Chains A and B, each alone.
Chain A
Amino acid sequence: MNTLTPTVPPARFNVWFALRRMVSGANIYVGGLIVGLVIVMAVFAPWIAPYDPAASDWLAIRQEPSWAHWMGTDDLGRDTLSRIIFGARASLSAGVISVLFAMVVGVPLGLISGYFGGWIDAAMARVTEAMLTCPFLVLAIALAAFLGPGLQNAMIAIGISASPLFIRLARGQAMVVKQEDYVDATRALGASSWRIIVRHILPNSMPPLIVQGTLTIATSILAESSLAFLGLGQLPPAPSWGSMLDAARQFLSESSEMAVFPGLAIILTVAGFNLLGDGLRRRLDRR
């Protein structure tokens, strides 16, 4: 940006401008609140859920929402609300664990690659680039197909697919941070490369990694629900939002609420993590 260009301040008090400022600052709180609610739902599911999520009630098949079943029941007479509350466990653990997996694999590789440079870096850059040529979901589906269905394999598949994102980010961070004066100073004091990476480069690379991590949790939750929708994620009868949507497809004309509620659960959770990640970025970039 040209420094001579004056930034134009809003000429008069603009309600929308103020509101937007407020709303964009609120991203982090709204996102945090949604994410917090989902965590509470997942952790305390057995105490919150009104019914057993796997218990079929043959006298209450595909009921519309009522006082007894707030979100209705599914084709096996199971309470949709209870299944959504328990389904938060699959989505949340898939999102968080696969991102942790991706970070544990990707961040050290990226830091080493960016710090040392040379042929390690060249090789790593090529592999990362190669993995990123496959669309995220396609790679996850292919990996899950070869690993076999199940929540654990879905997490591994999503984690592997997400790891190049973290390799690339950590690599870029290490390349920037290693040129800082304090890193030179530490090196002059005789610190080993490993000490510099662990004590200096890693902590200083954390803010963007945390932002990317939060946003990737959103992507991973979407990926897990997609895999579950295809029958490659959480195996039935354990509830998962993606497989609930899959089951709802054949009853779309009669019981559309079977599809609407799990879909809304996915959208809200994913939007929550996206808002939180976006809010964190604004916060952490303001250094």
Chain B
Amino acid sequence: MVQFILRRIAIAIPTLLIISFLIFLLQVMLPGDPALALAGEDPSPQAIAAIREKFQLDQPIPMRYLTWVANVLQGDFGMSIRTGLPVRDMLIQRLPVTFQLALMAMILAVLIAIPGGIIAALRPNSPLDYTVSSFTLAGVSVPNFFLGIMLILLFSVTLGWLPSGGYVPFASDPLGSIRSLIMPSIVLAFATSAVLMSHTRSAMLGTLNQDYIRTARAKGVSEPLIVIKHALRNALIPIITLGTIQFGELLGGAVLTEQVFGIPGFGKMLVDGVFSRDYSIVQAVVLVQAIIFLIVTVTADILYAVANPKLRHQ
């Protein structure tokens, strides 16, 4: 098992190197002098010279990449030109916010998707099943910023039940914090649960047709027990894998939702970086998201191997 985990991590390292190089190349793509772009508006000649020195901008591209990676490995993502703060500190500040949001959205998505998918699989081609299919189509077709705006219109503007945006830190006011993330989690859970539900449905349909289910029925096992203990347990493996990957996507992909609700998370950091032409921030966010995603997929593979010993020896 340890060997499997180590091997899986070893495979992820070249991927990480490639993505870091691609993200570095973004800098090269910038029109004009990268030192000027990285220095922000109206920089002093000393500031430009310092940046040129720090990133070795007069060196060839492979050397510049190595310098950049060396800095990143030491946790130095550069400075934000807008706030003047180290990008690393901003990352540390914003990650927990996005994590809380992703966690709430994931819990909500699982609570909707698993029962929905099971019900749809138990009654294939019924009105309920048809509703689930429509929900899936809506989940992949509704832009999450539009859903967010509509929720604000309903719950904040019309009913006045929830704040239209902003974030309350969990440490200072746990209940208020959850309240401030209710609408954003609904938005994220909508698309996530749609995909998860359709996979739960097909996984359940697959296991419900197995011979051992028929055997269990013939033995007289009660129907709820069959569904939960026999069918769901075996259907869960692909669902867990998908769910883990979706959680990784939630950690990285909440850009528009955080923007609409003004949540100072990771996605909003990307947008703010884009708007203020703060390129070190954009690079740092994309890189950290790629790392998070890699960690999550490796975790998913390990969980999969834990659940299915056959895979470990391949």
Contacts and interface: CB of A to CB of B under 8 A. Distances in A.
Interface residues of A, number: 52
Contacts of A229: 143, 145, 256
Contact of A226 (B15, B26, B143): B143
Contacts of B19: 130-131, 133-134
Given A138-B255, A274-B137, A225 B26 contact: no
Contacts of B18: 126-127, 129-130
Given A126-B18, A147-B29, A275-B137, A256 B209 contact: no
Please classify how large the interface on chain B is, using the bins under 10, 10 to 19, 20 to 34, 35 or more: 35 or more
Interface stretch (A13-21, A165-173, A200-208): A13-21
Interface string B147-170: 001101100010000000000000
B289 A232 contact: no
Contact of B141 (A130, A142, A242, A267): A267
Interface in B271-304: 271, 273-275, 277, 279, 282-283, 285-286, 289-290, 293-294, 297
A211 B76 CA distance: 44
A109 interface: no
B259 interface: yes
Contact of B290 (A133, A260, A274): A133
B58 interface: no
A252 B143 contact: no
A139 B150 CA distance: 26
Interface in A134-163: 134-135, 137-139, 141-148
A42 to B, nearest CB: 19
A16 B270 contact: no
Contacts of B293: 133-135
A134 B290 contact: yes
Interface in B103-152: 125-127, 129-130, 137-138, 140-143, 145-146, 149-150, 152
A260 B140 CA distance: 18
Contacts of A20: 125, 129-130
A139 B23 CA distance: 9
Nearest to B275: A231
B31 interface: yes
Contact of A135 (B145, B253, B282, B294): B253
A253 interface: yes
Contacts of B228: none
Most buried by B among A133, A143, A229, A232: A133
B15 A126 contact: yes
Interface string A212-246: 00000010001001100111100000000010010
Contact of B143 (A10, A143, A147, A263): A263
B173 interface: no
A28 interface: no
Contacts of B279: 145-146
Contacts of B137: 271, 274-275
A146 to B, nearest CB: 5
Contact of B15 (A16, A130, A249, A252): A130
B143 A138 contact: no
Given A141-B274, A143-B26, A222-B143, A248 B15 contact: no
A129 B149 CA distance: 34
A5 B213 CA distance: 12
Contacts of A141: 255, 270-271, 274
A266 interface: yes
A138 B125 contact: no
B14 interface: yes
B286 A129 contact: no
Contacts of A179: none
B211 interface: yes
A134 B31 contact: no
Contact of A256 (B153, B249, B253, B259): B153
A107 interface: no
B175 interface: no
Contacts of A222: 141, 143
A45 interface: no
A137 B256 contact: yes
A133 B125 CA distance: 36
B78 interface: no
Interface in A162-196: none
B21 to A, nearest CB: 8
- The 8 A-B residue pairs with the shortest CB-CB distance, nearest first, are A130-B18, A263-B146, A271-B141, A145-B274, A130-B19, A135-B253, A270-B141, A133-B290
Interface of A: 1-2, 5, 10, 14, 16-17, 20, 23, 126-127, 129-131, 133-135, 137-139, 141-148, 218, 222, 225-226, 229-232, 242, 245, 248-249, 252-253, 256, 259-260, 263, 266-267, 270-271, 274-275
